[in-house]
Amino acid sequence: MAEVYTDLNKTVLTLIAEKSFQHLRDILTTMQPADIAALFNELSEKNLPLVFRLLPKDLAAETFVEMDSDQQHLLIQGFTDAELQEVVNELYVDDVAALIEEMPANVVKRILRQADPETRRQINEILKYPEDSAGSIMTTEFVSLRAQMSVTDALKRIRQLGLNSETINVCYVTDDGRRLIGVVSIRTLILAGEHDRIEDIMNRYVVSVRTTEDQETVAKMFAKYDLTVLPVVDGENRLVGIVTVDDALDVLQEATTEDFEKMAAITPTDRPYLKKSVLEIWKSRIPWLLLLMISATFTGLIINHFENALKTYVLLTAYIPMLMDTGGNSGSQTSVTIIRGLSLHELEFRDLFRIVWKEIRVALLAGVTLAVFNFAKLMLFDQVGLMVAFVICLTLMSTVFVAKLTGCVLPMLAQRAGFDPVVMASPFITTIVDALSLLIYFRIATVILGI
């Protein structure tokens, strides 16, 4: 893929240098908007508006939506008012709303000034909902039908309004009070008889969400209920917008990235890595590194406390990393499994005891396996004494046990307490398990070796 883009990029740059704009236009019109946008994201401030103007109106709008916000900003700065107006009115209102959220205030003013009054009203409707809510990702451009309509009436209405609505694949049915009462797919309409009435062919059991619902929850409903569109209603069940599956996919992708980042102790940010400055990256990482570094102090205190034991048995120090790492890895395995299960609603708090019981048995099995291997290695290769080997293997088993237990209980408690369980991923589990494993180690060592 990388090579293809690079080659295309070279071709485009050559064509620009040669001013072969007709040829360039011919190439661009055969491409997908997302691919053109990927190309445009690499173009310089000088070439970008030049090449953008080659695109036919609809392709231009579709490409614009797919571009990075920095490049969008550059383009808008180069646009005449007429050009801006053309792009803004060609876009779907949810895309304009998303664009506005990324742009600085002066650009926002220009955009709103160029939007026609109805578009502006709809944009403001979307912008009033909190970020990350269903309302903020919905579009207000949809076709609604009435229960009394015949199929012919409905198709006529769709033909009238369809051009300005983001999808007509699914149409919602509302009553006199704009309340959502049913859903009918275009497929049902096409396959129905001309004189059938909507109320007889619609499905009355509609999955819908409130405007205030969290966007990640909304996105997950698409997978759960196999949807391509989801209606958004207000507190009185009045239909105010729809969310389409392409936006849900973007939300899911973003949410997954955020989860990965949180699991690696990074504060999520939504700019792509290569666009982020060194300072931005540092800011998203340093608070957690500091916090975790300070937490590791406790582990150091434990070692200090058992300084005398270590002086007598310096050998014991050599196994600290192995014990800490194995504990950390065992705990992470469990915590990540639980966190993902909670996120997919495969696991619920009420499953706590089933999970704990399962993890206890897995921990015993894994602990014994690791201890047996380790015992063999300690006796055959390291040739430590029997008692030392015994101390290490007993610690190993106990550590795995404690780690797996911590790894399943902490994320569940975090969620129960209203936190994102993701914070209880590897870094924190590891820090906690480190301290616990050393406590266990020295406790067992002092008792068995009589230090």
Of 113 and 159, nearer to a copy of itself (C-beta) is 159
Does 2 engage in binding with a copy of itself (CB under 8 A)?
yes
Residue of 83, 78, 88, 91 lying closest to 43 (CA atoms):
78
Q: Tell whether residue 451 is a contact of a copy of itself (CB under 8 A).
A: no
Provide, rounded to whole angstroms, the least separation between the CB of residue 87 and a copy of itself. 17
Q: Report the residue from 12, 15, 76, 336 that binds a copy of itself according to the rule CB under 8 A.
A: 336
CB nearer to a copy of itself: pick between 239 and 425: 425
Scan residues 290-309 and list those touching a copy of itself (CB under 8 A): 290, 292-294, 296-297, 299-301, 303-304, 307
What tokens were used for 401?
Answer: 């046990």
One residue of 70, 128, 148, 264 binding a copy of itself per CB under 8 A: 264
Nearer of residues 134 and 438 to a copy of itself, judged by Cβ: 438
Q: State the number of binding residues for a copy of itself (CB under 8 A).
A: 121
* Binding to a copy of itself, residues 217-256 (CB under 8 A): 222-228, 245-246, 249-250, 252-253, 256
Q: Applying CB under 8 A, does 430 fall inside the site for a copy of itself?
A: yes
Q: How far is the CB of 370 from a copy of itself (least distance, A)?
A: 6
CA distances from 256 to 148, 210, 340 (A): 43, 23, 11
Q: Does 195 bind a copy of itself (CB under 8 A)?
A: no
Candidates 12-20, 101-109, 371-379, 441-449: pick the segment binding a copy of itself (CB under 8 A): 371-379
Q: Is residue 289 at the binding interface for a copy of itself, with CB under 8 A as the rule?
A: yes
Min CB(109)–a copy of itself separation in Å = 29
H, E, C per residue of the chain: CHHHHHHHHHHHHHHHHCCCHHHHHHHHHCCCHHHHHHHHCCCCCCHHHHHHCCCCHHHHHHHHHHCCHHHHHHHHHHCCHHHHHHHHHHCCHHHHHHHHHHCCHHHHHHHHHHCCHHHHHHHHHHHCCCCCEHHHHCECCCCEEECCCEHHHHHHHHHHHHHHCCCCCEEEEECCCCEEEEEEEHHHHHHCCCCCEHHHHCECCCCCEECCCEHHHHHHHHHHHCCCEEEEECCCCEEEEEEEHHHHHHHHHHHHHHHHHHHCCCCCCCCCHHHCCHHHHHHHHHHHHHHHHHHHHHHHHHHHHCHHHHHHCHHHHHHHHHHHHHHHHHHHHHHHHHHHHHHCCCCCHHHHHHHHHHHHHHHHHHHHHHHHHHHHHHHHHHCCCHHHHHHHHHHHHHHHHHHHHHHHHHHHHHHHCCCCHHHHCHHHHHHHHHHHHHHHHHHHHHHHHCC
Kindly state the smallest distance separating residue 78's Cβ from a copy of itself, in Å: 25
Q: How far is the CB of 89 from a copy of itself (least distance, A)?
A: 18
Q: Binding of a copy of itself at residue 395 (CB under 8 A)?
A: no
4 binds a copy of itself (CB under 8 A): no
Pick between residue 107 and residue 158 the one whose CB is nearest to a copy of itself: 158
Task: Tell me the closest approach of the beta carbon of residue 372 to a copy of itself, in angstroms.
Answer: 10
270 part of the interface to a copy of itself, by CB under 8 A: no
Q: Which of 348, 379, 387, 416 binds a copy of itself (CB under 8 A)?
A: 348
Instruction: Please say which residue, 114 or 433, places its beta carbon nearer to a copy of itself.
Output: 433
**Binding segment toward a copy of itself, per CB under 8 A, in 49-57, 78-86, 131-139, 285-293:** 285-293
Piece of 19-27, 70-78, 115-123, 162-170 that binds a copy of itself (CB under 8 A): 162-170
* Interacting residues with a copy of itself between 22 and 61 (CB under 8 A): 29-34
